[in-house]
């Protein structure tokens, strides 16, 4: 673990740590000037303030990890809900009655269960793209009929519109007499769960930690680290620069990790692997429908999933 590079926050912190090392070295080189004008500091306040700063960083990391773990639970719930909806579409919908007098347009009849299952898969991909602010067009085009993909692609809240399409499909099947009201309620319960998970993800993505609190922690960490050489100069001498860098790495890395975990739906190494989770969801639903699975992706780069 000491040699792990990929997936660590160290690469993005190297400029700051290098600057701090240079600053610490300069402090050692001009120590006579510093001692002459009494610019050095007593290390005792740094000890007390360092403990308080560590507590603040611990709270910040706990708050960020809570958001990360809640996002993971919401996506796990979305996988379970998609499986439940697929199972209901496969087992609770009666066969089409060819003698039915129904003449209204009937997507449940013309498209069949395949369309509904594709809706449940497209929902996960649409949510992923909404959270990451990327273009969902390729996935929508691959999974949905052209007219539906175009209509969903023009919507602002695409996952919500997909849930609406699923509700319309269920209502059409109900009007055909292919399910009773009890089974329709079971479908509606799962659609409500999907809305809850969608809303939970949107809440995390659209409500970051208070900006002023993040700025305060960031400024305090860097001021502390750049004043630390003046407090350790008298006792450490030339061993001070590497020790200061090591101490600073601990504080700065904790803050950087909290920044990554605060938005768990991004593309940083420590964010949720939404690409892999969507593929797993798709294959889980396709297997239930006895349809060909998606091919396995190439091995993850540096053991990191996206």
CB 135 within 8 A of CB 159: no
Note the pLDDT tens digit of each residue in 153-176.
999 999 999 999 999 999 998 888
CA-wise closest residue to 188 among 81, 96, 287: 81
Mean pLDDT, rounded, for 248-254: 91
Q: Which of 34-48, 151-165, 227-241 has the highest mean pLDDT?
A: 151-165
List of long-range contacts for 181-184, beta carbons under 8 Å, 24+ apart: 183/88, 183/92
CB 18 within 8 A of CB 249: no
pTM of the predicted protein model: 0.85
Q: Which of 68-77, 102-111, 216-225 has the lowest mean pLDDT?
A: 102-111
Helix/strand/coil for 292: coil
| Cα dihedral 163, 169, 170, 174 in deg (nearest 10) | 160
CB 116 within 8 A of CB 166: yes
Please give the full DSSP string across 211-266, using - where no structure is assigned: HHHHHHHHHHHHHHHHHHHHHHHHHHGGGHHHHHHHHHHHHHHHHHHHHHHHSTTS
Burial of 202 (0-12, 13-18, 19+ CB in 10 A): middle
Res 123: pLDDT: 95
If pLDDT is split at 50, 70 and 90, which confidence band does 301 have? Answer: low
Evaluate if residue 109 carries a pLDDT over 70.
no
∠ CA 154-160-162, rounded to 5° = 70
Identify which has the larger pLDDT, 299 or 18: 18
Please give the full DSSP string across 176-201, using - where no structure is assigned: TTSS-HHHHHHHHHHHHHHHHHHHHH
Q: Looking up tokens 């929508």, which residue turns up?
A: 140
Note the pLDDT tens digit of each residue in 69-96.
999 999 999 999 999 999 999 888 877 6
CA-wise closest residue to 176 among 120, 79, 237, 94: 94
């Amino acid at each position: 673990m000491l040699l792990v590079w990929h997936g660590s926050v160290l690469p993005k912190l190297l400029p700051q740590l290098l600057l701090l090392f240079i600053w610490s070295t300069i402090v050692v080189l001009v120590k006579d000037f510093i001692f002459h004008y009494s610019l050095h500091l007593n290390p005792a306040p740094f000890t007390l303030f360092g403990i308080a700063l560590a507590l603040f960083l611990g709270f910040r990391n706990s708050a960020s990890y809570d958001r990360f773990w809640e996002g993971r639970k919401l996506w796990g719930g979305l996988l379970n809900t998609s499986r439940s909806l697929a199972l209901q579409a496969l087992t609770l919908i009666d066969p089409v009655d060819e003698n039915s007098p129904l003449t209204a347009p009937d997507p449940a009849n013309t498209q069949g269960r395949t369309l509904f299952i594709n809706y449940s898969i497209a929902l996960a991909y649409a949510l992923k793209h909404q959270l990451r602010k990327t273009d969902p067009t390729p996935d929508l085009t691959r999974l949905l009929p052209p007219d539906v993909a175009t209509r969903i692609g023009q919507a602002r809240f695409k996952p919500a519109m997909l849930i609406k399409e699923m509700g319309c499909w269920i209502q059409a099947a109900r009007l055909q007499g292919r399910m009773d009201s009890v089974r329709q309620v079971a479908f509606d319960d799962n659609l409500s769960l999907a809305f809850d998970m969608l809303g939970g993800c949107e809440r995390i993505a659209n409500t970051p930690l208070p900006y002023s609190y993040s700025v305060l922690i960031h400024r305090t960490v860097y001021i502390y680290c750049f004043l630390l050489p003046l407090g350790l100069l008298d006792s450490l001498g030339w061993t001070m620069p590497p020790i200061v860098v090591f101490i600073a790495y601990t504080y700065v890395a904790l803050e950087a990790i909290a920044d990554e975990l605060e938005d768990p739906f991004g593309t940083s190494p420590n964010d949720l692997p939404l690409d892999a989770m969507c593929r797993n969801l798709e294959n889980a639903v396709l297997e239930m429908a006895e349809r060909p699975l998606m091919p396995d992706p190439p091995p993850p780069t540096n053991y990191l999933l996206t």
